Structure 1
């Protein structure tokens, strides 16, 4: 087995294949990641180093930057990023560059399967062309081609690759059959669909469903707050209905590598067919507006004590994009940070899972800033604590007992501070 891209999707998938008897070669262009894995070390919070060490020690898993070793693999699964560029345009460069890297080493009979979220037509058109041109082989004839969307849920201990049903679409029936044989090694439940495009649309639909529903509760949050109604109490009561309702929760904005990005792969592709995606676009507008709403609430909280955001010392509690992970990609915390500084505030952050800010294209100015310790003294030294991510590892009692002001975007401190004059929700 070959798996390209050893991040939050590719690494757990590699380990599940290895644990189920496959010999796995993990490919990545980052030599530091490769060296860490081969030394039995983990760079992802929820993947234990012991698990990696066991697989590397047994010879079931090895990482490499050498793409010539693709020729050793019965199947190659691509798990690389699909970000946006120029605002909201799809960036397939990682997928297509991976295709160019593996194409010269493809062998007859091999399977290539893409897992990266993308618009319908990527696998059977864009990726297929790159693979065929680089290998001299024909997809569906000389090698198998398929799409199977990743369904990772980082930070959820109940989420495991082997137990999450796997949607699989092949270029041809034979391609699908081979993909199901391969995934059957590591995954218990397989869900065949009639084409790569259907499988690609499945993942987009799943993530658009989340984005739209999160936008709805974010909008309701703002409306109900103006009426003096707590959205969190509303949702808790509403979810007792045993049919026709599924709870979604508001927040300071969308984050991560999926929900803020994937819907716009469809909006971009829809324009090619002369179609509009007004609902998706509106959801994007609502979710994008949330950080500004949070900052407005911070200003109101400070004003209640005769202060302003200008020159206020603010502790941003949580910089990862969601609870209990160390992944800060597309985190709304960085947008909050920028908006606070634009208002003249002085910002520090605490996140038990992000000890230092990693370099990124979007927020390079924060790279290298270190985590602030969470102590009674440090909390008391800030004018305001803005809770952006509700990690379980945070001692919220310290915050509740020592903070001058708290603005809570996740309802994490409600049990400690509900009804207190220095506690605000946003």
Structure 2
């Protein structure tokens, strides 16, 4: 017999001496320790050996006939793989699923996919649909104008217009014209209404406020800075409204916007038909409003404004939390259901009001409201432009950088 080849023994030694690796905790609940029991470390020398090893010379024995030297078979990685147990690479991590939430506002926003960005852009069918809808509205408006004009040309409608021209003489005499306080009240009301609508829409669409206001001595009353600004404007608007109503009744000018006869309704219908027909009723706002204007002003001052105040107070932090019976009788859901539609009414009223002011002799109308004079001059126009500049400045300044120092005078301002 011949002695084993030293080369073969040297290459088999690492495998023979290899033992199991140290096992740790299981990777799954109730499983076995990791790695498996039959795992052996990967021998770099064995894995790298792919060339056959030259046989080493074998010394002859001292006695006996000469024999042919035994040549060891070459050891390759394939042979080792066939004889050795399965080798696991413990350096490769197991597959896993990400469970960390990225959050709503990541520090770095990934670029939106093309499909998402494409949805924001109107397609050709959508653009055509919008144009078609606008054209349809124009056709309907033209048809309504033609129908009303044809209706008013009929004999019985001519008699109706003669009996109800669109306005009536008030039952109580009132001094014509507008006092300067009316102009100031009108400006303050316009200024506050624009900012109230702006801040109200911000509160409605605000998802995650960045600045908060907390009243002194009431840590639980913390609200967003936008909500504080909205409620502060509401208080100023209510103060301005109370002053307006008091002066209205003290001076006797309440007769101009409060109906004093049932004739207001047929005259309002007559005025509405005349507006639609573009053969507009006679304008004499310096002395008396027409019936449609009177009803609109009455509804705005004595119905819409109180409803806005009552619903806003119910949703604000000023509502008494301990008044359980009162809260049950007036649920906050009712206030929320009414408050936003009332705001839409004010927006519609402002649009219609401004449009009619511009279309029915805007220089004279602007003089009535801003210059307290019944004349066709540019004085009221320039005062109106100045008021628009002030409103624009207030619109731009209504941001935390400006509002925070003001809010600190009435409470605590913080970022969370």
Q: TM-score, normalised by structure 1?
A: 0.21
Structure (1 or 2) with the greater strand fraction:
1
Larger radius of gyration: 2
Structure (1 or 2) with the greater helix fraction:
2
Q: TM-score, normalised by structure 2?
A: 0.22
